[in-house]
Amino acid sequence: MARRATKSPKSAAAVSQSVSASADELMLAALDRGGDVTKTGRFLVTFKESAADAGIKSLSAKRGLRVADARDFTNQSFDFAAAGDAGAMVFSEIGVALVGGDAAVEHGINAAEFVAADAPAHSVDPEYFMFATQINPSDYLRGVLRTAEMIAEDLGTQETGGAAVRDVSAAVAGATWGLSACRVPPSHFDANGIKVAVLDTGFDLGHPEFAGRSFVTNSFVGQPVQDLHGHGTHTAGTACGPASPPGPVPRYGIGARAQIFIGKVLTNSGGGTQAQVLAGMNWAISNRCAAISMSLGAQIPVQPSYTAAGNAALNAGCLIIAASGNASSRPWNIQPTGAPANSPSVVSVAALDSSLRVAVFSNGGKVDIAGPGVNVFSSWPRPTLHNTISGTSMATPHVAGCAALWAQTSQALRGAALRAKLIASARHLPLPATDVGAGLVQAP
């Protein structure tokens, strides 16, 4: 059982920027502060490589902070509420710490000497809100619609969606167009024995087409893993759905026998915080998931914390695959890849339509590979069961699923080697690399 820090009553202001604060509390606090509502008011400390333990000592001994550690929890399944009055939370697997806003100021965490040449910290950066890259962030916080629309504009995460699909007669016979384009149906591999993590809004654990499948789950947002949004169920369906769904339903899943790790890092409203996402990454890496699919982000610069997490993943034989984002309106307005996909240690995924053209919303610049991302059919929470939606969110699990198939072909294909194989095996497209990277992902 995990150790819990003592919790005592706090003022609303203190709770709003504490380590244990929920995403909704942080959002409301951002409203009260005004100004830049894309930031939570807390800070992320990224430690130098192999300096996490020294960093913990620096936070606790030198700075006088009470520090909670993800390693105190079974399989690093951290519960933010359990942090109580702790001033900092450390994700040791990736070498990053979350520090409450008030604690950072009180203990000088944002002072220049904290990131001096001889200090364990590499950087101290503000924490941002994160969103599912299929969700319109204006729906994130019900009841504060106007403010959430400001966040949608600032973060550029809006994407297109479709009505629930009950009549699948128009789907490609036998398999979705995306799986066919990635050459999944003729592949002899099914990701058997491969761990695949999907960090999203959770999953409908009672979905009938996943009966008997192996799941490992954890929520980092203070809500049950059960997906009441749909985004996570859709992305997990593409990455790990069944090879032979019942009736007229076309095949929509790639890693049909993968062991599925569901990390709920976004709430049922489709939003969360950078620390919640990092907690999920830390958990997936600690469980040595070969492929980690992340259909989420924000239109912000490269974040040292995500780069550190990506490097930790590669060193552990894992590969983080993330959506490039959907802020573009091609051809006139092409926006740069958002975070975490813009980190050099993370595989960035662009979206293609069924004609293998770049999706109009797909971001550009730092793009490593492309996947099917327009009118993608996949699983959806009950009672609908299926849905067709579009976005780089939908392209990302195509790449993650194919990565799992490649990982099955050889134990040597892990981390950087798996990334190299994905890039080398991609189908070349007559399009700029800044739009599609190496090309369309292909199954082995």
What is the spatial distance between Cα 171 and Cα 169, in angstroms, rounded to a whole number? 6
| Tens digit of each residue's pLDDT (9 = 90 or more) over 204-237 | 999 999 999 989 999 999 999 999 999 999 999 9
Q: How many CB atoms lie within 10 A of CB 150?
A: 17
What mean pLDDT is predicted for residues 90-119? 75
Q: Which amino acid is at 240?
A: C
pLDDT at residue 439 greater than cutoff 80:
yes
Task: Say which residues have a Cβ less than 8 Å from residue 167's Cβ, sequence separation at least 6.
Answer: none
What mean pLDDT is predicted for residues 288-317? 98
What is the spatial distance between Cα 267 and Cα 130, in angstroms, rounded to a whole number? 10
What is the spatial distance between Cα 168 and Cα 117, in angstroms, rounded to a whole number? 60
Residue spans of the domains in the chain: they are: 12-127, 150-436
Tell me what the pLDDT averaged over the chain comes to: 86
pLDDT at residue 410 greater than cutoff 70:
yes
Residue 192 exposure: Cα atoms within 13 Å on the Cβ side: 5
pLDDT at residue 254 greater than cutoff 70:
yes
What is the spatial distance between Cα 263 and Cα 368, in angstroms, rounded to a whole number? 24
Given the residues 107, 122, 229, 231, the one annotated as active site: 231
Residues forming beta bridges with residue 196, ordered by sequence position: 260, 291
Given the residues 269, 393, 398, 435, the one annotated as active site: 393
What is the spatial distance between Cα 36 and Cα 155, in angstroms, rounded to a whole number? 11
200 a catalytic residue: yes
| Tens digit of each residue's pLDDT (9 = 90 or more) over 133-180 | 743 333 333 333 333 333 334 444 444 443 333 333 333 469 999 999
What is the spatial distance between Cα 200 and Cα 205, in angstroms, rounded to a whole number? 14
58 a catalytic residue: no
Of 263, 267, 347, the C-alpha closest to 70 is: 263
Given the residues 102, 200, 368, 435, the one annotated as active site: 200
What is the spatial distance between Cα 305 and Cα 298, in angstroms, rounded to a whole number? 14
8 a catalytic residue: no
Task: Say which residues have a Cβ less than 8 Å from residue 237's Cβ, sequence separation at least 6.
Answer: 252, 253, 378, 379, 380, 397
**pLDDT for 160:** 47
Q: What is the percentage of the chain residues whose pLDDT exceeds 70?
A: 82
Token pair in block for residue 324: 């490039």
Q: Which residue has the tokens 């080697």?
A: 417
Token pair in block for residue 305: 């914390």
Q: Which residue has the tokens 């058997």?
A: 192
Q: Give, for 411, the enclosing helix (H) or strand (E).
A: none
Q: Could you give the 3-state DSSP secondary structure of residue 261?
A: strand
CATH architecture of the domain 150-436 equals 3-Layer(aba) Sandwich (3.40)
